[in-house]
């Protein structure tokens, strides 16, 4: 297990409500619980709970999946297993059994304590204004990625606020909106920023700009789609453009999640990432902005 991941997991659990949420999810394995029931059992306001669940998910300690009209949350027990292994592996000169510590399933851990299938990938979605498409992509991947991916978004020239229609569409889809904000991509070029594995541009303008140098040399691709914020007409017509954009993003993210990350070389993976950007709804023009 990477030290960075261990620190994130411990930080997420260091808050009382999040610890209560995680312990409740552990008790309810493997069925999981809908967010509403978690809020009711713990007496936590739904909007506050949403923030805590998002933090636990980003830390790799919880996953979510849609079942009918509900989003069900579960604890990632394998990650706790690996966290404990990471914490005690050097105990008693490498023999933690001398302290009668809980036995850790070593077959699930590699030399760093995490299987490749348990690795969490960081993904950054970029646009110009970071107000609509990239925001929706962040929320979609954080939900669809089921804890295997942590999504972020940013803009080259951030609008400073998230488009209300993006929030409206995400909310109606049952997707998280807590913590979403319009911000500069410079935040992710800082030395202490999360190291990205993938960076995707979702608008043509951002794709044509000179990006910062991202730590870790992430893989990149352009997934441009039409800017729904440029739509005109009635509220219903404008909202329809956001729904369409969300559908195109969802299709791309679904294709991305289906890639065989552990069994494909970098060149082949890069080719497939670019192919995803050519799915239905791909843009070919430049000069747009969110």
Q: Which of 82, 91, 99, 127 is catalytic?
A: 127
Catalytic residue among 28, 91, 99, 203: 203
Q: Which residues pair with 72 in a beta bridge?
A: 34, 65
Closest CA to 246 of 125, 137, 128, 129: 137
- Residues 249/169, Cβ–Cβ less than 8 Å: no
Q: What is the C-alpha separation between 122 and 100, in angstroms, rounded? A: 36
3-class DSSP state of 75 = strand
Catalytic residue, from 28, 91, 99, 211: name it.
211
Nearest alpha carbon to residue 277 among 121, 128, 133: 133
Angle at 179 between CA 80 and CA 258, to 5 degrees: 60
* 203 is a catalytic site residue: yes
Is residue 91 part of the annotated active site? The answer reads: no
Closest CA to 185 of 138, 244, 250, 144: 138
**Residues recognised as catalytic:** 127, 203, 211
């Amino acid at each position: 297990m990477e030290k960075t991941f261990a620190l994130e997991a411990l930080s997420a659990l260091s808050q009382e409500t999040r610890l209560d949420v995680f312990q409740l999810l552990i008790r309810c394995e493997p069925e999981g619980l809908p967010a509403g029931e978690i809020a009711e059992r713990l007496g936590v306001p739904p909007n506050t709970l949403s923030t805590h669940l998002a933090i636990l998910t980003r830390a790799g300690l919880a996953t979510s999946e849609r079942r009918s009209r509900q989003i069900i949350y579960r604890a990632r027990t394998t990650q706790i297993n690996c966290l404990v292994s990471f914490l005690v592996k050097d105990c008693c000169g490498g023999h933690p059994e001398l302290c009668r510590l809980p036995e850790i399933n070593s077959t699930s851990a590699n030399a760093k304590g995490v299987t490749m299938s348990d690795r969490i990938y960081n993904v950054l979605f970029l646009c110009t204004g970071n107000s609509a498409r990239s925001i929706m992509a962040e929320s979609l991947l954080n939900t669809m990625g089921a804890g295997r991916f942590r999504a972020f978004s940013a803009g080259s020239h951030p609008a400073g606020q998230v488009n209300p229609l993006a929030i409206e569409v995400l909310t109606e889809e049952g997707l998280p909106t807590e913590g979403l904000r319009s911000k500069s991509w410079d935040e992710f070029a800082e030395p202490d920023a999360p190291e990205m594995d993938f960076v995707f541009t979702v608008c043509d303008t951002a794709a044509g700009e000179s990006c910062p140098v991202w730590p870790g040399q992430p893989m990149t691709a352009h997934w441009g789609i039409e800017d729904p914020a440029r739509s005109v007409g009635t509220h219903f017509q404008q909202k329809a453009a956001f729904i369409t954009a969300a559908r195109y993003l969802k299709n791309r993210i679904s294709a991305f999640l289906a890639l065989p990350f552990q069994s494909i070389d970098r060149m082949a993976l890069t080719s497939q990432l670019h192919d995803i950007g050519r799915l239905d709804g791909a843009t070919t023009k430049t000069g747009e902005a969110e």
